[in-house]
Each structure stands twice: as structure tokens, then as C-alpha cells.
Structure 1
Amino acid sequence: MSSSENAPRRWIRRAGEARLEFGADYNPEQWPRAIWDDDVRAMREAGVTIVSLAIFSWARLQPAEGAYDFAWLDDAMDLLHAGGIAVDLATATASPPPWLTTKHPEILPVNAEGSTVWPGARQHWRPTSPVFREHALRLVRALATRYRDHPALVAWHVNNELGCHNIYDFSDDAARAFRAWLEARYQSMDRLNEAWGTAFWSQQYSDWEQILPPRLAASHPNPTQQLDFKRFSSDALKEHLRAEKAVLREITPDVPVTTNFMVMGEQKPMNYADWAAEVDFVSNDHYVVPGPQARDELSFSANLTGMLAGGRPWFLMEHSTSAVNWQPVNVAKRPGELARDSLTHVAYGADAVCFFQWRQSRAGAEKYHSAMLPHAGTDSALFRGVAELGKRLRDLAPVAGTPRTPAPVGIVFDWESWWVAEQDSHPTDRLRYRQEALDWYTALLDQGIRADVVPAGGDLERYPMLIAPILHVVPAALAGRLTRYAENGGHLVTTYFSGIVDENDHVWLGGYPGALRDLLGIRVEEFAPLLDGDSVALDNGATGTLWTERVDVADSGVEVLARYRDGKQAAITRRPVGTGSASYVSTRLGAAGIAPVLPSLLRPAGVASELPPELRGRVELAIRGEHRFLINRTDEPIDLPGGAGVLDARSVLVM
């Protein structure tokens, strides 16, 4: 356990009674000074209590090396404080100014093909560049020194969306840092060669200087080299977070520090389970990606963020009031979705609801991204919806600070399994780790079952039932932990391509599913992935896609819950283990296909829905302390039983 994990956690530095914070990124530097007063008046009208400030302001704060201009930020801080609005002040290091990249082009990232990533957008910096680090920390120190006693300052916002565009850098700086990271991890060349399996393809190293990042190669790079580079890259950004935090801690020890994660969609390069201990409170940015599971994905991400926060309050730093600007087609939100999306995050532990951004930009790449104050101004349906949400959050002040009530089911989420399961040279490149986990989450919601999305290193033993989809990377210690879980009465469900490799991406020998083979009581000799468009029928009426296996039952106690219709081969199995059980699903069923088998998996664990039968599948239930959140999953109003009223379409009721 790191010292960061032992450190006390703090919420924003705020006097008075607990409340749900409400606000946005605020970019006054984009606007004439005369507009700022109008902004604060409109913020007060909307119920804004906090803004994130100076996120992309480095060039304005430091127009030249050694020259600072804080006058405009002083003015903005004073104005916001006078208006009763707190400030989460950014360190402004996310986007280096042109003078810095012109003088020091060596801070610019390099991609796998060896091409420089040029300025002109944002995050054009190397996480391992000592030159960038020096200039960034100098700015952080100047900001912290100037504003440490400002009454508006309630939290520090390190950088912004660390790793969104610069997670993988293949430069010479990165190569040197990667070698140092490897030497610290393995201590000797022999141990590295063993871990990387360098006997294959004549890759054996005899000196640390021979090692490079996995740059563009003639064929597939070494798999463990790729895995270690992913680990290193996540660690390199975490080290930058630590470096900025150390300066802030030195100068403002009483001001909490956060940075905004991106727990959403396919944002997988940053191991947030590893990062969470580094911040005083977890913050997250989330944007809805359209699709049939869009609502459930939002819930899944909010759920996981809350678990990363360890049950403590967390900060929704960014989401959108309506359309974004970066999707192929950017669709506006429908009536009710602004509030429903926001309150779903609150249901899973958010004590702050903020947006990108306050005032919609006139220029720049995000001018068509929605904001709290749109181009149409305050006389608009969107602004009225924002103000209504502000009032709703004020009314929900008693929710603030209340813990989440644990669910009966835990869905295990493991970043390293996500990384490795989707690498190249595998049985199929169609596998999508997060989608499989989301399908199980949707299937549980469809039956009215609450589930927590739990990092693999979290408290797994508290759940009567654990679902571990595509738990691909299983070190011996984790295999032992899962075995003890089942022996002590827990009910484990895992799926295809689980238990296959150890922490070095080496296959567990003796047949699949490797490290979990004995626990599950089955043996698979060969994978049988499916071609696009192919499927297999199960005798329970479900259809499998993507993957199948010839599952041999190796333990007489194993019960076959479903078979493949062709050949009568086992498809889904369960083995009693101690006072618990271990079950295996050998194909991708999708949410609809999971439904027929889910009751038989839930029953031994004693898990049942807490919702009345008529609400199951239509309503999602989340619980924080004494507060029950009923989230309408449909586009139709729902009559609540017992004369409790109507749950409007796309709405949330807090009881």
C-alpha cells in the first residue's frame, strides 16, 4: 500500500452545510471583460456554486518565458468570490504555449511511426520530458504561491484529462524513462528476458540500452513488451500528477487536489484503479455515446467511478448539457435527458455535477459543443433546463455526503485484462472487454438487480455473487483469492477467454481456462472464435456470437446449465465449490442472451430484485443511504405502485 493510500481523503474546502455542487468549466479569457459580470449574474440565476478555472490558460498566464500576467485571473477570482461562486483552480499545464514548443520542440510527443505530434490542438507534451516538467512545475508553483490564500479557492485541478491525447509517447525521452521503469521492475536482464519471453524470435536482450518502446515494427511487437509499455505509460502520467501535487501540497497543504479521470466508453489506457489513491477526491468526465446501451453505459461508468472513489463523494467534472462536437453526428439531448443524466451520476455517489462548459464558445474546435449558457443565451429552453436542474440539486442537498449502499452483485473490472485481451495476435480481434462487462450490467438491470462495478483489486468478498467477464489476466494470487471466495460461500461467474495468462502475459499450461480451470471443473483444448456473421444456438433459446469452445467437463460435480444445440456440447456450466460455486459461460451471449440463464446463476447466491415486478427492467434502482433513486430506463411515463405517483419518461425520482 502506497503512502497516498494511507493519506486522509478530503472533499472541497468549503464552509457551511453539505450540498450538491453545481457548475462548469469557465473560460473567461475567451471573452471581453464586460461579459464576465453578465456571466456571474447568469450563474447565480442558474444556481451555479463552483467553476473550474484556467484549465487552458497557460499562454495567457505566461505570455513569454519568465513573464506572468495574473491580473485577469485575479479579477476573475475576485469576481467569482464576490458572486458566491467557488473555484476549482486548474494548474493550466494541459496545453503548452507556442513560445515553449517553439523554443523546446523536444517536449513534443512522437508517435509509434516516429512522427512528431505537432502543436495546434492540445496536450502536445511528453509525459517523460524533463524540459516540460521543469516549465510546468514552475507555473504550478507560481499559481499556488499567488492564490494559496484566496477565499475563492476550494480545490486544485491538476492538468486536465491526463492522457486523453498523449498517453503513448515513443520519443527518446520515453525510451529512457521506459528503460528505467523496466530496470526498477525486473532488477536484472535475466528476469526481464524471462518475463518477455525473448527466446521467441531472437529477441533476447543483454543490455538495458537495447530496449525500446514498441515502435512500428515489421510484424507484431512482443506482447509483454506491449503490456509493460501500457503499464509504464499509465505510470508516467501518474508520476506527472504526483509531481504537480507535490508542489501544491508544499504550498497549500490544506487545499485538496484532484484531476479529472475519463471513465467512459473505450478510454482504457489510464489505469484509474491505480490512480485513485493519488487524489483527495475522484473526479470524472463522462459523455454519452449514442447507441442501444447509451443509458446503461452512463450508469456503468458512474457506478465504476463511485467504486474507484471507495464510496466517498466524487466530482462529475464534465458532461454535456446537450450535443457534443466530436462525434460523427452530434445529436441534441431530448427533454428530460439533461436532468436524468446528471442525477444518475448523483445516484452513484457524485456530490458535484458540472459541465463543459459555462458559456458556449464563439470560436475554436469546441464552438458547437453545448454549454450551460448556449449561443441562444439565457432566453432558451436549454438554459431554463439548466436552471431547473440547479434548483433540483439544491433541493437534494440532504443526499450530499451519504454513502452508496453496496449491491448484492459485483462485476469485476480489470484494466490489465482489458489491455491484454484486446492486443494483437489473438484468436480474434473482435473481442471487446468493456462491452462484455456492459452486457452483464444491462442484463442485471433488465431483471431489476443492482450491481456494483468493482475494480479487481477492490473488496470482492463482500458480494454474494461476482461476475468476472473476460478476466483474462489472472496471476496465481488472484486465482487463489477467487477460489477462497467460492469456498467461503461466494458465487463466481466468469466467461470465455478468462484465466488464460499470468501477469507476464504467459499462458497457463494444461488447457484453458488456465488459472481458473480447476476452480471451474472444466477443460478446453482449443478456442473456436466465430467469423463475422456466424452464430451458434444454445438449447435455452439464446444465441452465441464471437466465440465458442469445446468445453469438456472435468469434474463429476459440474452441472451443465446450457448446451450448444449442435453436438450437445456444454456451453454454460456451474461447479459447486465449498459453500459457493463457480460458473462458466463459453460464448458471447449479449445482454438478451444472458437473460435466460441469469436466474439460475442468481438463485444459488440468494440474489433477487428489490423492485416490484412491474418495475423490473423499466426502472433502475440505486441507493445512497436512506435515499432511493428510481431512474426511468424508458421513453414512457411509468405508474409507480401503491399510488406513489408517476415516474416521467427519461427522469429520476429520489425517494
Structure 2
Amino acid sequence: MRLGVCDYPEHVSRETWLTYPAMMKTLGLEVVRLAEFAWARFEPRPGEFDFDWLDEAVDALHAEGLGVVLGTPTATPPNWLTHERPELLLVDEQGRRRRPGSRRHYDYASPDWWDETRRVVEVVARRYGAHPAVIGWQTDNEHGCHDTVRSYSDHARRAFQRWLAAKYGTVDALNDAWGAVFWSQTYTRFDEVDLPNLTVYTPNPSHLLDFHRYSSDQVVAYDRMQTEILRAHSPGRFVTHNFMVLFEQFDHYDACAHLDFPSFDTYPTAFLDVSWLSADLKRTYARTGHPDLAGFAHDFYRGVKPGAAHWVMEQQAGHADWAAHNTLPADGAVNLWTMQAHAHGADAVVYFRWRAATAGAELMHSGLLRHDGKPDRGYHEVRDVAPLVKAAPGGRVPARVALLHDFDSLWAYDAQKHARSASYWAQLMGFYTALREQGVDVDVRHPLADLSSYDALVAPCLHVLSEETAAHLRTQVERGARLLLGPRTGFRRESGRVWEDGAPGPLAPLAGVRVRNFDALAPGTTVGVTAGGGETHLARTWTEDLEPQVDDVEVLARYTEGPLRGRAAVTRRAHGAGGVTCIGAWSETLLRRVTSGVLSAAGVEHAPLPEGVRVSRRGERQYTQDWRYATVVVENLAAPLETRP
């Protein structure tokens, strides 16, 4: 695995910076990312370009044998451009045109912005596309960060109307798909359709779902445009983008299709602010981050483009500066995160950043070097871990379990949660943690991906479910896979309308059940659930009544109180060579029991792990990580038992 660092020669004096490439080489780094925020330095005035500083930097890194990943600079349009052309700026959900002075302030829907992007990306690609130091490119930076995917400008409104016309063909088809007769929302022309913001009350959920799809397509098309320019002028170099952990505003499966491989940025301690983690867990993992947040990101980006590598393009290497609480990481945390990345299949880890910034919005953020240019704590940990991961053998992650995830379901679920404490991510991560707590490796896959190599398929929430997806999953069960379906599966059609016969929609004939009632529980309210042997569990947030439709459905657990008392909470049905299990309740302990049963039926070896311990396998190595104490033990599975640690 390669190690690298993000650096900013434009932030320090030339004389200071020229000492850095040799230091990077000595530290064991191989890759340096440059220039993703440097447009104003490239082009200080319209049409006047200055690349001398970057030429010197790239040449100096090349002289030390370091590879360069160049970023296209479009995440930070220069002030001269947006001052003269404010129509390029983003309009937010409240109808306000955002101002420059930060980053990511452009409008994806603006045709003029696309023209400016083409112009600057082509200039940079022509200059550096064939440079021997340049091994690859990063497009833009963190698409959508700071809630910037969904534009509400006039450009976006007209583009959305064209997108709808192309999708539906006729306005009657749109009205039918959206159920526009509700609240007298019927349209007579596509140009009557407005954007779903500033409505008095909640907009039509199908309208909202299509707007999210349109906005996602805008990001994908914009990134593809940049990629095509880079490939035309820099053949043989990879093109990637640095995505974010648990980011939800565009479809990453679509966005990765045109890239060579995905990258992502990870800041484990800063991510602890997610709402579904308890206060106790946030305290326990304050200095390492929760193991399953970064773990899920690795498993997701490893699977979002099957067969491709994945990189960490920004790895936290000290304290961050943008979270509610920017805790100093524990001793060993940087090594733990690096080893986790390797264990989950990453091919490179690039640390953020080389030297702490002395000015600007990120001056509170740490680097491998402190503000004074002296090595910080992360520098010493990278020095220690570099020889270990660079010598570690590669190989694939041998996952036999696939966790199914899709963006349509995410968007539709969170638009109408029905319980304030519920969310798509909270539900999905509950299933992911239940699997990881039992020591199994997990691939995160789209439900229409090739699933033929997996013995267990875990679908926490396929809330939007098509006939095509149902047929695909039915095929997997018939050939022997064990399928687990979570709450709210198959509630909606692709249009966003409900399946009238009830959830799980077109999977009902396979599962043998229909959801007849669901109960969103108030905060602090619990409902008892009794499983086999009289074992009792407490359900919170959400419960469903799974009504068997055929005689061969086995009820594994029932509610013991509340309106659903006596009704089924967990069911199982054999089908073909496999089977389907449904769970309708949010309960950590019940979910752990149910996932264990599914893994056993699938023949997947598993065992409960101690609190905070995770096990990952790559090739012939097993990595046991203790996230409470920031330690990792590496075991060679091919070695004789008596020689293993």
C-alpha cells in the first residue's frame, strides 16, 4: 500500500517548501496531492496564467521519486470570476444566492460555469498531462460538501424541467407517476413544474425524489465532463475523485462509473457527531472514532466500483478543526486508521496535511508538521507504520456477506421518516455494526450488482423497490443465498408511490409476509419482543406487523405489548436452495440474534467480539483492531498455528 500526503506549496515560501520533498521521501511517503484549491494562483487575473511555482514544485517532487496527484481547481472559483459574474454562484434552498469567501460556491446547473470549468481544466491538463511525475488526477474536491449539490437557481429550474420531459415524455405520465392529483398539484405543461423548495408545507415526495435524482445526475455529468478532458490530455494517468463518508446528496454508484477508482476523505474522530450514536459511545471512542464509521466507508468505496482499487485521499493525522469537538487523537490512532485502511482493501492512504496551515479557515487543523514546521505526533506515527504497510501483502477482502445499499431508498426514507429519531443511515449502520460485531467481512453493494459470490445478503432498508430488483434478489435466494430484509423494505415503487398491497412490495411472494401496520415509537418508548426460548428484547423507534401470507412462514419472534401485541416481529421462510428472513423491529439485541441466525444458515463463520474489537481479513492476513486502545495485531493465516501472535 502506498502512503502519501496532501500539500500546499502556495501556502509557504519557496525556500521553505523546497526542503519538504526530501523530508517526505525520508518519511516513507510516495505520493503527494497538489493544487486542488489553487485556481487564483494559476490564474491571478482573467486569462493570465502563472505556473512557474507549480512547475518547480512538481519537478522537485519528481527529483525525489515522488508521484504527484494533481487536483482540478474548480472547488474554489477565484474572486475575480464570481465578482464579475455572480450568476455562477449557488442559490440555496431558501432562495439566497451564496457569496464567495469560502469554497464550493458554484452552481452545478449554470452552463456558463461549465464553460469556465472546461477552460481551466483543459489549460491545467495540457500543461501537466504528460509530466512524468504526474501519476493521476483528482477532479474538483469533495463534490457537494457544505450542502452544495442541490441548486435552486433559475438555471436549475429550467434544467430540472428538461430532465423531467426527457424522463416522462408527456406531462400526463408525470402526473400519474407523482400522484399529482393529490392537493390539486396536476400539471398541464412541464414548464409549470417548480423546484421543491419554499413550499408552505412538505412538497410531493415523488417530486422531491425526482429532484434529488436530477441533482445527482448534474453532479455526475459535471464530473464526467472533467474526466473526459483529463483523459484526452493525460492518457495513461488515473482519474479519481475524493468523496466523503456517509455523504448522501448524489448517487455514488453513478458517479464512480467513469472514474478509474474512487477515493474518499476520512476524519474518524470528527465523524462521531452522527446523531444515532449514543453519548456513551461518543465518549468511549472520542479519541479513535467509532470503528464502523470508517469501516463502512472502506467497504462501501471498495464495492461501489467492483474490481477497482480505492484510495483514502485525505486521512486524518491529528486533530481536525470542523467538528463540534475536535479531540486530539489517542496515541496510536493514526497507525490504527492506516492499518484499518489496508485491512479493508485500500491501495493508498494520503494524509491530510503536510504542514498545519498558518492562515485561512483551516488554521486550527493539524498537519504532519506543526505550524512551526517541526514534526507533530502524526508524523512520528506515520514514520513507524510506513514500513509495515508498504511491506504488507495485498490481496482481496474475502467477504461472503453483502450489505445492500442504494440512494433512492435513502432519499425517499429520509424525506418522510415518520419517526424523528429514525433515519436511513441509522437503520443501515445498525445492521452493519451487528455484522461487524460478529467478526465477518462485509462488502457494501448496490442491490442490482452481481451478487452471485455472496452466501448472505443483508438488505437493511430497500425502501424504494423495483420489480427488477425483486427479481434479481429472488434469483440469488433460489441459487442458495440467505436474504435478510429490514424494516420499511419495499414500501415504495420507483416513482415514490407506495406498493398498494403493502410492503415488502414485489418481494412479498418471496418472503411470504405483508406489512399490515407499522408503529413509530416516541422517544423513550419501548416495546417488548420475545424470540425463541423466551428470550426478551426491547424495540425502539420502529416496529412492524409482519403478517404471514402462506403456511410455510416460520414466526421467530413476536411483540409482547402495545398495539402489535402477539403479532410477528421476525419471520423466516425457505425458498429454493436459500431462504428469506424479515425483521420488522429496531432492536440492537434482537438484530444481533437475527443476523447470527442468518450467518449460520449461510454457513458463514462468525463469533461475537469484545466491545470495540473488529477483525478484518485481506489476502492471507488477519487484522484484529482494538478501537478502545488503538492497537492492531496482524496474523498470518498461512503460517503454522504455533508461530502466530
TM-score (normalised: structure 2): 0.91
Of 145-154 and 99-108, deviating more is: 145-154
User: Do structure 1's residue 274 and structure 2's residue 269 form an aligned pair?
Assistant: no
User: Do structure 1's residue 244 and structure 2's residue 226 form an aligned pair?
Assistant: yes
Q: 2:151 aligns with which of 161, 166, 169?
A: 169
Aligned to 1:372: 368
Aligned to 1:421: 413
User: Do structure 1's residue 94 and structure 2's residue 75 form an aligned pair?
Assistant: yes
Q: Distance in 2 between matches of 1:130 and 1:250?
A: 21
CA shift, 1:434, in A, is: 1.8
1:487-546, CA deviations, whole angstroms, 9 ceiling, x for partnerless residues?
222211111111111110110012333232222212222221101110111112221111
Q: 1:632 aligns with which of 620, 626, 629?
A: 626
Name the aligned partner's letter for residue 476 of structure 2.
Y
User: Do structure 1's residue 153 and structure 2's residue 151 form an aligned pair?
Assistant: no
Name the aligned partner's letter for residue 421 of structure 1.
Y
Q: Summarize the alignment of residues 369-448 of structure 1 with structure 2, pairs less than 5 Å apart.
A: 369-375=365-371, 377-396=373-392, 398-399=393-394, 402-405=395-398, 407-424=399-416, 426-448=417-439
Name the aligned partner's letter for residue 480 of structure 2.
G
User: Do structure 1's residue 112 and structure 2's residue 83 form an aligned pair?
Assistant: no
Q: Distance in 1 between matches of 2:222 and 2:90?
A: 15
Secondary structure at the aligned position of 1:390 is classed as: helix
Aligned to 1:601: 598
Name the aligned partner's letter for residue 100 of structure 2.
P
Aligned to 1:526: 517
Would the alpha carbon gap of residues 134 and 549 (structure 1) be closer, same or farther in structure 2, given more than 3 Å must change? Answer: same
Q: Distance in 2 between matches of 1:114 and 1:617?
A: 47
Unaligned runs of 5+ in 2: 282-288, 636-640
Aligned to 2:41: 60
Kindly report structure 1 stretches of 4+ aligned residues shifted beyond 4 Å: 613-619, 636-646
Aligned to 2:355: 359
Of 94-103 and 31-40, deviating more is: 31-40
Aligned to 2:286: none
Name the aligned partner's letter for residue 559 of structure 1.
E
Q: Distance in 1 between matches of 2:633 and 2:8?
A: 43
Q: Distance in 2 between matches of 1:615 and 1:599?
A: 12
Q: Distance in 1 between matches of 2:234 and 2:529?
A: 61
Secondary structure at the aligned position of 2:19 is classed as: helix
1:89-129, CA deviations, whole angstroms, 9 ceiling, x for partnerless residues?
11111110000001100000111221111111101100121
Contact 1:311 1:349 in 2 (8 A): no
Q: Summarize the alignment of residues 130-209 of structure 1 with structure 2, pairs less than 5 Å apart.
A: 130-165=111-146, 166-209=148-191
User: Do structure 1's residue 349 and structure 2's residue 345 form an aligned pair?
Assistant: yes
Contact 1:360 1:372 in 2 (8 A): yes
CA shift, 1:638, in A, is: 9.0
Aligned to 1:287: 267
Aligned to 1:456: 447
Q: Distance in 1 between matches of 2:61 and 2:409?
A: 45
Q: Distance in 2 between matches of 1:116 and 1:357?
A: 32
Q: 2:497 aligns with which of 506, 509, 517?
A: 506
1:435-488, CA deviations, whole angstroms, 9 ceiling, x for partnerless residues?
222222222222222222222232223211111012101011111222222222
Q: Distance in 2 between matches of 1:431 and 1:330?
A: 26
Contact 2:557 2:571 in 1 (8 A): yes
Name the aligned partner's letter for residue 127 of structure 1.
Y
Aligned to 1:310: 306
Name the aligned partner's letter for residue 194 of structure 1.
D
Contact 2:129 2:230 in 1 (8 A): no
CA shift, 1:639, in A, is: 8.9
Of 432-441 and 102-111, deviating more is: 432-441
CA shift, 1:579, in A, is: 2.0
1:32-77, CA deviations, whole angstroms, 9 ceiling, x for partnerless residues?
1111122223212211111111110001111111111111111111
Would the alpha carbon gap of residues 549 and 184 (structure 1) be closer, same or farther in structure 2, given more than 3 Å must change? Answer: same
Q: Distance in 1 between matches of 2:471 and 2:610?
A: 36
Aligned to 2:202: 220
User: Do structure 1's residue 489 and structure 2's residue 480 form an aligned pair?
Assistant: yes
Name the aligned partner's letter for residue 620 of structure 2.
E
Of 487-496 and 369-378, deviating more is: 369-378
Contact 2:35 2:71 in 1 (8 A): yes
Q: Distance in 1 between matches of 2:340 and 2:69?
A: 23
CA shift, 1:636, in A, is: 8.1
Of 44-53 and 96-105, deviating more is: 44-53
Q: Distance in 2 between matches of 1:142 and 1:65?
A: 13
Would the alpha carbon gap of residues 342 and 181 (structure 1) be closer, same or farther in structure 2, given more than 3 Å must change? Answer: same
User: Do structure 1's residue 328 and structure 2's residue 324 form an aligned pair?
Assistant: yes
Q: Distance in 1 between matches of 2:584 and 2:418?
A: 14
Contact 2:625 2:631 in 1 (8 A): no
CA shift, 1:619, in A, is: 4.5
Contact 2:320 2:365 in 1 (8 A): yes
Q: Cα RMSD between the aligned structures?
A: 2.0
User: Do structure 1's residue 36 and structure 2's residue 30 form an aligned pair?
Assistant: no
Q: Distance in 2 between matches of 1:283 and 1:65?
A: 32
Aligned to 1:3: none
Q: 1:256 aligns with which of 238, 256, 259?
A: 238
CA shift, 1:316, in A, is: 0.9
Q: Distance in 2 between matches of 1:638 and 1:167?
A: 38
Q: Distance in 2 between matches of 1:430 and 1:299?
A: 23
Q: 1:549 aligns with which of 544, 551, 554?
A: 544
CA shift, 1:273, in A, is: 1.2
Q: Distance in 1 between matches of 2:523 and 2:336?
A: 36
TM-score (normalised: structure 1): 0.90
Unaligned runs of 5+ in 1: 1-19, 647-655
Contact 1:500 1:515 in 2 (8 A): no
Q: 2:558 aligns with which of 563, 567, 582?
A: 563
CA shift, 1:233, in A, is: 0.9
Secondary structure at the aligned position of 1:43 is classed as: helix
Q: Distance in 2 between matches of 1:28 and 1:198?
A: 55
Secondary structure at the aligned position of 2:83 is classed as: helix
Aligned to 1:620: 614
Contact 2:223 2:255 in 1 (8 A): no
Name the aligned partner's letter for residue 57 of structure 1.
A
Identity %: 34
Q: Distance in 1 between matches of 2:554 and 2:402?
A: 23
CA shift, 1:627, in A, is: 3.3
CA shift, 1:174, in A, is: 0.8
Would the alpha carbon gap of residues 638 and 45 (structure 1) be closer, same or farther in structure 2, given more than 3 Å must change? Answer: closer
Q: Distance in 1 between matches of 2:544 and 2:144?
A: 37
Secondary structure at the aligned position of 1:88 is classed as: strand
Q: Distance in 1 between matches of 2:192 and 2:543?
A: 41
Aligned to 2:284: none
Of 482-491 and 619-628, deviating more is: 619-628
Contact 2:515 2:545 in 1 (8 A): yes
Contact 2:344 2:616 in 1 (8 A): yes
Of 616-625 and 97-106, deviating more is: 616-625
Secondary structure at the aligned position of 2:136 is classed as: strand
CA shift, 1:366, in A, is: 1.0
Q: Distance in 2 between matches of 1:250 and 1:498?
A: 43
Name the aligned partner's letter for residue 556 of structure 1.
D
